[in-house]
Amino acid sequence: MTELWFGIVSVMLTMFVVMDGFDLGAGVLHLFVARSDDERRRVLAAIGPHWDANEVWLLATGGALFVAFPKVLASGLSGFYLAIFLVLWCLVLRGIAIEFRSHVAAPMWRAFWDVTFAVASILLCIFFGCALGNLLRGLPIDADGWFGLTLFTDFSTHMPVGILDWYTVLAGVYALLALVMHGGAFLCWKSEGVLLDRCRIIALRVGLLVTALWPVMTYLTVRVNPAMFDNFASRPLAWACIAIAVAGQAAFLFGLLRGNYRNALLGSSAFLLGLLAATAVSVFPVMLRSAADPALSITALQASNTPGALKVALRWWLVGIPLVIIYFVIQFRVHAGKVPAPRQGEGY
């Protein structure tokens, strides 16, 4: 049951990255591919029906941790206190920027919220990448299972560590590039004309950069967490996940080159899914790795709730997850096709 819930939490977190990742990436590209107010409203209209629902996956992941691994949630929330507040502020600013930009027709007003939206999206991509980098590098967990993180120390990956060091910053930048690639594929699927052409060029260039940097980030990850590679080499499921990521990246690149933008989006989704799934398989059962002493790491087996509680939670999850899937299927069917700019006074 513990292994099952580790998988459920991993799947829900991966769904957040895949689903919210395309509108985060679109937010980053917002200022670069859209040159006029009409084009920027098209970008916002493309993600408008999706962005708030996609963020619910993050809340659902927190809820799954609460019922299945409460010790991990308690330790993580306290240790990442500063980082969580930074993330919350950026999430709030993105929502405000989307909703407020067209309340006033003044160019300065709209330009201010456009910049706010793009900057908040960029920071969120980097923050989420840094968070994953912290989990892979390790945390200063003490004997009682608690830790605290300053923003940075000496930028090394050795104790004492902070939120930012050379590895976590690079992980944040790589996450930014990967989500820009993903968002570019989504905008190619939803846009047309010159906006489509700009999105395609940027998505292709960033996608090639993500492909080239993938082995580099893999090497750096193994350097800061050698045990992860040992687990990966002995677990066939991890190899299958990497195969999904490779196939997804190939589908993304060929989809862009051939003008099949739905396949490109599905490919970038498969790349993110495969990469994160391989990471989860490789680190299991560790959920919060200790940078000071591996024996102090918090594992799924140590932190899981009682078997009875996990069984009750699973019953409710099995009721809820089909409803979520049905909702997203209906949402994408209702909002299928290319997106025109809303008329003045109709939002965005």
pLDDT at res. 146: 86
Q: Is the pTM of this model over 0.85?
A: yes
Segment 257-282, tens digit of pLDDT: 999 999 999 999 999 999 999 999 99
Using alpha carbons only, give the angle 288, 305, 142 rounded to the nearest 5 degrees: 35
Segment 184-211, tens digit of pLDDT: 999 999 998 899 999 999 999 999 999 9
Give me the percent of the chain exceeding a pLDDT of 70.
Answer: 98
What is the band of 343 on the pLDDT scale with cuts at 50, 70, 90? low
Residue 348: pLDDT over 80: no
Q: Residue 112 corresponds to which tokens in the numbers above?
A: 């201010």
Segment 10-32, tens digit of pLDDT: 999 999 999 999 999 999 999 89
pLDDT at res. 345: 56
DSSP 149: -
Segment 48-73, tens digit of pLDDT: 888 888 989 998 999 999 999 999 99
Q: How far is CA 103 from CA 91, 109, 111, in A?
A: 20, 9, 12
What is the band of 341 on the pLDDT scale with cuts at 50, 70, 90? low
User: Cis peptide leading into 160, omega within 30 of 0?
Assistant: yes
Q: Going by C-beta distance under 8 Å and a sequence separation of 6 or more, which residues neighbour residue 225? A: 136, 137, 138, 289
